[in-house]
Amino acid sequence: MNETLKLINRRMSLRRYAQREVAPEDRDRILESAMRAPTAGNMMLYSIIEIADPTSRARLAETCGHSFIEQAPLVLLFLADMQRWFDYYEINDVPAHRRQEGLDYRTPELSDLLMSSCDALIAAQNSVIAAESLGIGSCYVGDIMGQAETHRELFDLPPWAFPIALLCYGHYPRDLPRRRASRFDRRFICFRDRYTRFAADDFREMLSGIEAQFADVLRKSGMNLAQMTYRGFTGSESRLEEARSVRLLLHDWRAES
Which pLDDT score, from 0 to 100, does residue 175 have? 87
Q: What Cα–Cα distance (Å) separates residue 170 from each residue in 75, 100, 135?
A: 9, 53, 9
- pLDDT score for 198: 97
Among 130, 161, 129, residue whose Cα is nearest residue 144:
161
Structural domain boundaries in the chain: 3-181
Residue 11: the pLDDT is 94
Helix (H) or strand (E) holding 11: none
For residue range 63-102, list pLDDT tens digits in order.
Answer: 999 999 999 999 999 999 999 999 999 999 999 999 999 9
Those residues with Cβ within 8 angstroms of residue 212's Cβ, 6 or more apart along the chain or in another chain: none
- Provide the percentage of residues in the chain whose pLDDT is more than 70: 99
* pLDDT band (50, 70, 90) for residue 145: very high
With a cut of 70, say whether residue 125 has pLDDT above it.
yes
Non-local (6+) Cβ contacts of 152 within 8 A are none
Residue 257's pLDDT band (boundaries 50, 70, 90)? low
Pick the CATH number of 3-181 from 3.30.1340.10, 2.30.130.40, 3.40.109.10, 3.90.1150.10: 3.40.109.10
CB 125 within 8 A of CB 50: no
Percent of the chain at pLDDT > 90 equals 92
Q: Mean pLDDT, to the nearest integer, of 51-71?
A: 96
Backbone angles phi, psi at 158, to 5 degrees: -80, 170
User: What is the model's pTM?
Assistant: 0.94
Q: Report the chain's mean pLDDT, rounded to a whole number.
A: 95
Instruction: List Cβ neighbours of 256 (8 Å cut-off, separation of 6 or more).
Output: 107, 108, 159, 160
User: pLDDT digits over 105-123, tens only?
Assistant: 999 999 999 999 999 999 9
Taking only the tens place, the pLDDT of each residue in 19-36 is 999 999 999 999 999 999
Radius of gyration of the chain from its Cα atoms, rounded to whole angstroms: 21
Distance CA(62)–CA(70), nearest Å, equals 10
